[in-house]
Amino acid sequence: MKGFTDPPSAIEGAGLMHRLAYFTGCASLAYVVLAAVPSCGGGGANTGAAGGGGTGTAGSAGMAGMPGGDCTPGVLTPSGTLLGRYGSRHVTADGRDYFLQVNEWNATEAQEVAYGGDFHFKVTTQMASVPTTGGPTGFPSMFIGANSNHETGDSSLPKAVSALTTVPTTWIWNDNGTLADATANSYNATYDVWFSTSAAGEPSASGPSGGFLMVWLHKPADAQPIGSVSAANRGVTIPGVPGTWDVWIGPNGSRPCISYVATQTTPSLSFDLNAFIKDAVNNRPNTIQSAWYLTNVFTGFEIWRGGVNLESTGFCVVVN
């Protein structure tokens, strides 16, 4: 895969709005939103992820994760600020290539994201607010993989689900006081993982052909993932991963979405992402299929309101 396809300017803005995928995960009730810049399906008039109303579990204590193996977050370089709804650029952390994006696909008010230095990225301006019965304002995030003609180098993606051994990952994030004010702030903190039915993936498409898997480290009280959670899928454990998880399953358009939601807010976690993938393949019928291919891994925040000073302190992921 190629990397660093974009110019290395420190500040990039809305000129990218027509050539970048605008993603959010499956934070949705069982309906879709059509938008010029939708989520989950990306650019054009594809299916977007809508936010679901409902009560949630806002935990407090974070969980220490298992060792991240050969994945330790490094210092992100360079530093700068992403301006505009679709500001984006390639960045490097510990010699690994990542793609960083503002990704404000469902609102037009000002959003800005700083990056580099003491954190990987931080939401510094966020003026939009949308109902939690619809899609979030956007999904400021980092990812590895290939989509919408943007690729990260040396990611080992796409890779067959059946050939995955481990996918060590660490994510550390900081609410910086926003969780203390649920009236002003509503957002999740989540992994968004894409799967393709094709060995080549969809490097020029803005959504996966297979399905979605999400790992929510924080769920707001007034929004929920797509689909529903059965009694049998509440409080499940995943081998090798600390904590308990509620498993939500539902369709995002024609594609399945499975969301593992931590029952306590978790500000940092080091784990093997393949443990969740295996659980979906082996224990959750009609979700992720062993014949599919892993194509993209994102971390970020789906924001309905507030979120200023939300920080992704460090992130890494390695596909083996």
Could you tell me the sign of the dihedral formed by the alpha carbons of 289, 290, 291, 292, in that order?
positive
**Exposure string over 7-46, b if 16+ CB within 10 A, otherwise e:** eeeeebbeebbeebbbbbbbbbbeebbebebbbbbbbeeb
Q: C-alpha 234: how far from its chain's center? A: 22
Total of domains in the chain: 1
Residue 90 belongs to a domain: yes
pTM: 0.84
> Is residue 6 assigned to a domain?
no
Domain that holds residue 233: 11-317
CB atoms within 10 A of CB 185: 21
Residue 173 pLDDT exceeds 50: yes
5 pLDDT tier (thresholds 50, 70, 90): very low
Q: Does residue 2 form part of some domain?
A: no
Predicted local distance difference test score (pLDDT) of residue 206:
83
pLDDT (0 to 100) of residue 137: 97
Model confidence over 69-88: pLDDT tens digits?
579 999 999 999 999 999 99
Residue 30's pLDDT band, with cuts at 50, 70 and 90, is: very low
* 5 inside domain: no
Q: Kindly list the distances between the CA atom of residue 163 and the CA atoms of 85, 126, 192, in Å, as whole numbers in the listed order.
A: 37, 40, 20
pLDDT given for residue 220 in this prediction: 98
Window from 61-65, 140-144, 173-177, 196-200 with minimum mean pLDDT:
61-65
* Residue closest to 28 by CA, chosen among 267, 286, 258, 281: 258
53 assigned to some structural domain: yes
Mean pLDDT of the chain: 83
Percent of the chain beyond pLDDT 90? 74
Which has more confidence, 243 or 6?
243
Of 38, 143, 13, 37, nearest in space to 88 by CA: 13
Residue at 4 is within a domain? no
Examine the pLDDT at 50 and tell me if it is beyond 70.
no
pLDDT at 221: 97
% of the chain residues with pLDDT over 70: 79
CATH number at residue 117: 2.60.120.180
**pLDDT tops 60 at residue 9:** no
Name the more confident of 143 and 58. Answer: 143
pLDDT per position as a tens digit, 197-233: 999 999 998 889 999 999 999 999 999 999 999 999 9
pLDDT of residue 68: 45
pLDDT per residue over 278-289, tens digit each? 999 999 999 999
Contact 194, 203 (CB under 8 A): no
- Cβ distance 114 to 80 under 8 Å? yes
Q: Could you read off the pLDDT of 85-132 as tens digits, one per residue?
A: 999 999 999 899 999 999 999 999 999 999 999 999 999 999 999 999
Report yes or no on 113 lying in a domain.
yes
Beta strand pairing call for 211-218 and 255-262: parallel
In a domain? residue 275: yes
pLDDT of residue 27: 63
